[in-house]
Structure 1
Amino acid sequence: MSLKSIGLELRCQCIKKESRFIHPRQIQNVELFPSGPHCKDAEVIATMKSGHHICLDPNAPWVKIVIERILKSSQV
């Protein structure tokens, strides 16, 4: 079994990061990947309802709000 098959990449997944606002109705799912040995930067990847994946800039103000909401909901 490869690391990729269990969801672990050994490199950064995001080359280009989007900071422009994307309306929540267009987003199906958001995944957070903390920084680590695979990548020095935290990564936020949104799966759009169209099926496309977009890397979001974790420093964009609206993305920070999304991250806070995800973290709060995971603590419940």
Structure 2
Amino acid sequence: MPLSANLLLVATALCCFATVFALPMPGMNRDNQCRCLTTTDTYMNPRSFKKIEIIPVGPSCRNIEIIITLKDRNKVVCVNPKAAWVQQIISKVM
């Protein structure tokens, strides 16, 4: 094989290896999963909120996730985005 053909073969192989190792593998990366395994409908007073995160549907999770960090010991709670009280709070925030 001529030198240019060998060089092309090596370059192609390196690109393939780089692509394989750059892709996340299912089950190996926490970012490929929903953050909320369970949600609650229980009302929480907005005054106890430290932070609200709204995570839209994406390739890693097909659910809208609403994660509330409470002032009390930085407790993190996942709430049901369909709960009426959650929708009211989100409409006020947005």
The reply on whether 1:19 has 2:19 as its aligned counterpart is no
- Structure 1 residue corresponding to 2:67, chosen from 41, 45, 48: 45
Report how many aligned residue pairs link the two structures.
Answer: 64
When Rg is computed on C-alpha atoms for both structures, the one with the higher figure is: 2
Higher relative contact order (CA 8 A, sep 6+): 1
What residue is the counterpart of 1:62 in the other structure?
85
Partners of 2:70 and 2:63 in 1: how far apart? Answer: 22
Q: Per-residue CA shift, 1:4-60, capped at 9, x if unaligned?
A: xxxx92210001101110011211111100011110000000000020100010000
TM-score by length of 2: 0.64
The reply on whether 1:32 has 2:57 as its aligned counterpart is no
Q: Which has the higher strand share?
A: 1
Change (3 A) 1:26 1:12: same
What is the identity percentage for the equivalent residue pairs of Structure 1 and Structure 2? 30
Partners of 2:54 and 2:92 in 1: how far apart? Answer: 12
Gaps of 5+ in 2: 1-29
Divergent runs of 4+, >3 A: none
